[in-house]
Copies of this chain bind each other. A is one copy, B any other.
Amino acid sequence: MASLGAAEATHLRLQALARYAGARSGDSRVVDNRVNQVVLVVEGAVKLIASVSGGRTHVMGFYFKDDFIYLPARETHAYNLCALKDCELIAFPATEFIRLAQNDRALNNNFISHLLRTLGRSREKTIALGQKTARERVATFLVSMAERIGSPFSNGALLDLPMSRRDIGENIGLTIETVSRQMTELRNAGLVSTSGRSQVKILDLAALKQEAGHFPVLT
């Protein structure tokens, strides 16, 4: 909760509001979505999924330690959080959270800049899905993950991806097969190497960014 940057006084009130939620890897509907929620990831990794008509589902994004999620109440279609690993989360009902934030400049500012960042990422992603080829999307995804959960490594990064190929595909609007093929091509091109299902080593981050079409953060 420290990462919310609230003052001491607000802190206590936030605690009164908070719903702690633990989750095991694979759990879905981790947080109550009957009202808008602000969710903080204390530990672990989650995906935000949207269930859409026709049984389709779209992965809106992936979130990791210290990330901050705005989870809208179910409406025309349902948003839900699913755990990708064992997780610790804290959820606040959005309305009360916002009201509280108004009494605390730092928290209010934090919340607003979080929203702006989220909006920025969402717009980037819109562009990606509207304009990019499969190759560019996969490259963009990897670059983004490198920036968010990668450990630096020579002139690249080391990644341990907690999500499946299916999750990746549903996130960037491709089928699982296409994701797989693009990964293979990137491997053949010498840009990445993989071991096991989840370990990815980015060998040349600059070149990968080139492949990504110079776009910034996705997800």
Contact = CB atoms under 8 A, between A and B. Distances in A.
Chain multiplicity (copies): 2
A129 B173 contact: yes
B122 A126 contact: yes
A130 B131 CA distance: 11
Interface string A114-135: 0110111011011101110000
A120 B122 CA distance: 10
A131 B173 contact: yes
Interface residues of A, number: 41
A130 B172 contact: yes
Contacts of A118: 119
Q: Identify whether the interface residues of A are mostly helix, strand, loop, or mixed.
A: helix
A213 interface: yes
A216 interface: yes
A13 interface: no
25 contacts: A36-B116, A52-B131, A52-B215, A53-B214, A54-B213, A60-B127, A70-B116, A70-B119, A72-B116, A75-B216, A76-B214, A76-B216, A77-B127, A77-B215, A98-B112, A102-B102, A102-B109, A122-B122, A122-B126, A125-B126, A126-B129, A129-B129, A129-B173, A130-B170, A130-B172
Closest 4 CB pairs of A and B: A130-B173, A129-B129, A53-B214, A122-B122
